[in-house]
Amino acid sequence: MELDENIDIDEEAVEECCGDIEEQEGDKKKMKCVIKMRCPEGEDAEKIKEKVLMRLDKELGGRSNVVMTRLNDDDLKQIDALVEVEAFNSRSEAAAFFIREGMKARDDLFHKIMPTVDKIRELKEQAKKSLSEGEAK
């Protein structure tokens, strides 16, 4: 399935359907929009919409955490090249994608270490409780 490159945002339809176009949430502004696209012959628009939304949620969901990182010049050039050809919308999106793919590639490592990490966290919590109980006496 190939999506139409020319995406129109119908601001009147947004206001009619969703109320205000922008809504304030703390320091962040949210933009609500309606995206129109043509469906290939014989394709169900609702099924396509569901697939697109599921893919976006899967690929971009949970990206509310910020991580600073330093990259060497070659890595940055490659990321910038992908942004330049619009494979990604931003350096951040590209970096998040490659971090996720790297973690998937080493899934075996994470399965191996996570039980130990969980145990370490549990022991730290027990130690904190012991210290706070000692101070209360």
CB 32 within 8 A of CB 14: yes
* CA 36 vs CA 51, 53, 66, 79, 119: distances in Å: 15, 14, 31, 30, 50
Domain for residue 73, yes or no? no
The C-alpha atoms of residue 38 and residue 25 are separated, in whole angstroms, by 32
Domain total for the chain? 1
pTM: 0.49
Domain for residue 10, yes or no? yes
**Residue pLDDT, tens place only, 8-34:** 444 454 444 444 444 455 555 555 445
Domain for residue 129, yes or no? no
**Residue pLDDT, tens place only, 77-91:** 999 999 999 898 899
Angle between helices 73-84 and 91-105 (to 10 degrees): 110
Domain for residue 88, yes or no? no
Where in the sequence is the domain holding 33, given as residue range(s)? 1-61
